[in-house]
């Protein structure tokens, strides 16, 4: 178990790559701080726990600095710190989006 005793904060754990990463990291022994804006994040935590892993869910919008700080604070409060951060959450821009003309707020969400 390569991540035994490590605490991993993973964003975008409500589905897809984030959920798969949470499950894999937990299988490798990590304690998971599952971060997502979607309610399906709770399902990921339940799945980790059913498989024998340890995880907590944190509802957060990764484009909001205060939410991100709160997520890291929760990791500190519950697990005493953080060893791994897997920054997976974000949005995809359309192919025709002009990255230079796009505002900073949109870029922060990617």
Neighbours of 15 (CB within 10 A): 14
Q: Answer yes or no: is 96 within a domain.
A: yes
CATH of the domain at 34: 3.40.50.720
CA 107, CA 54: separation in Å to the nearest integer? 33
- Rounded to the nearest integer, the mean pLDDT of the chain is 89
Please determine, for residue 97, whether its predicted confidence score (pLDDT) is greater than 60. Answer: no
Share of the chain above pLDDT 90, in %: 75
- In eight-state DSSP terms, residue 44 is H
Q: pLDDT at position 37, please? A: 95
Q: Answer yes or no: is 84 within a domain.
A: yes
Q: What are phi and psi of 23, to 5 degrees?
A: -65, -40
Q: Within a 13 Å sphere around the CA of 41, how many CA atoms are in the beta-carbon half? A: 21
Name the residue range of residue 39's domain.
7-108
Neighbours of 49 (CB within 10 A): 14
Q: Answer yes or no: is 2 within a domain.
A: no
Domain count for the chain: 1
Which tokens hold the place of 70? 């709160």
* Placement of tokens 């299988």 in the chain: 27
Q: Answer yes or no: is 1 within a domain.
A: no
Query: Which pTM value belongs to this model?
Result: 0.84
Q: pLDDT at position 11, please? A: 96
pLDDT tens digits, one per residue of 53-85: 999 999 999 888 899 999 999 999 999 999 999
Q: What are phi and psi of 33, to 5 degrees?
A: -105, 100
């Amino acid at each position: 178990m390569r991540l035994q005793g490590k605490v991993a904060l993973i964003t975008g754990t409500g589905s897809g790559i984030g959920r798969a990463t949470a499950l894999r990291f937990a299988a490798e022994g990590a304690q998971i701080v599952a971060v997502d804006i979607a309610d399906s994040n709770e399902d990921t935590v339940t799945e980790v726990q059913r498989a024998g892993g340890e995880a907590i869910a944190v509802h957060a919008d990764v484009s909001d600095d205060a939410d991100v700080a709160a997520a890291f604070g929760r990791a500190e409060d519950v697990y005493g710190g953080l060893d791994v951060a897997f920054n997976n959450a974000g949005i995809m821009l359309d192919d025709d989006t002009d990255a230079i003309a796009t505002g900073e707020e949109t870029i922060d969400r990617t």
